[in-house]
Amino acid sequence: MFIILLFLFSCNLKQDHDLEPDWNAQILGPLVKEDLSINEVPDIDSFAYVNAFSLEKDFGITQKEPIKIKDVPEIGPLSLPPNHLDLTETFKSAEVESGEIYFVLTNNLPFDVKPGVIVKISQSGDPLDDPLVNHELPLGLPGNGGVYKMPALNLNNKILLPELDLQILNFATQKSTNSEDLDPSKEFKIEVYIDKLKFKSITLSQGNTFNVEETVDLNLKGTDINAQSLSGKLYTFANNGMPLKFSLQLYFLDGSYTVLDSLFNTDPTIQEPEIANGVTVTPKETKITTELNEAKANKIINAEFLRIRFNAANPPDVTINKDNLLKFQLTGDLDVAIKK
Report how far residue 186's alpha carbon sits from residue 78's, in angstroms, rounded to the nearest whole number.
18
Residue 17 has what pLDDT? 41
Residues 244 and 281 in one domain: yes
* Overall average pLDDT of the 83-99 stretch: 91
Confidence of residue 95 (pLDDT cuts 50, 70, 90): very high
Q: What is the pLDDT of residues 192-239, one digit of tens each?
A: 999 999 999 999 887 778 888 999 998 776 555 555 667 889 999 999
Whole-angstrom distance, CA of residue 78 vs CA of residue 51: 17
pLDDT of residue 13: 35
**Distances in whole angstroms, Cα of residue 323 to Cα of each of 98, 113, 334:** 15, 48, 33
* pLDDT range class, residue 7, cuts 50, 70, 90: very low
Average pLDDT of the chain, as a whole number = 83
Q: Is 0.85 topped by the overall pTM?
A: no
% of the chain at pLDDT higher than 90? 48
| CATH code at position 186 | 2.60.120
The lowest-confidence range among 48-52, 143-147, 219-223 is 219-223
Q: How is 168-220 classified by DSSP, letter by letter?
A: EESB-B--EEEEEEE-TT-EEEEEEEEEEEEEEEEEE-S--EEEEEEEEE--S
Provide the number of structural domains found in the chain. Answer: 2
Indicate the range of 55-59, 97-101, 105-109, 161-165 predicted with least confidence: 55-59
Q: Is residue 288 part of a domain?
A: yes
Residue closest to 169 by CA, chosen among 40, 45, 76, 287: 76
Q: What is the structure's pLDDT at 215? A: 93
Segment 276-298, tens digit of pLDDT: 888 899 999 999 999 988 888 88
pLDDT grade for 338, boundaries at 50, 70 and 90? low
From 179, 202, 225, the end of a domain falls on: 202
Q: Residue 191 — pLDDT band, cuts 50, 70, 90?
A: very high
- Asked if residue 198 and residue 147 are part of one domain, the reply reads yes
User: Could you give the C-alpha distances from 26 to 10, 29, 207, 264, in angstroms and in order?
Assistant: 9, 10, 45, 23
Would 1 be classed as within a structural domain?
no
Higher pLDDT among residues 69 and 249, named by residue: 249
Exposed, middle or buried, 220 (CB in 10 Å: 0-12/13-18/19+)?
A: buried
- Domain stop point among 148, 176, 202: 202
pLDDT of residue 205: 80
Q: Is 302 helix (H, G, I), strand (E, B) or coil?
A: coil
Around Cβ 188, how many Cβ atoms within 10 Å? 25
Domain-embedded: residue 133: yes
Model confidence at 319: pLDDT above 70: yes
Residue 155 lies in a domain: yes
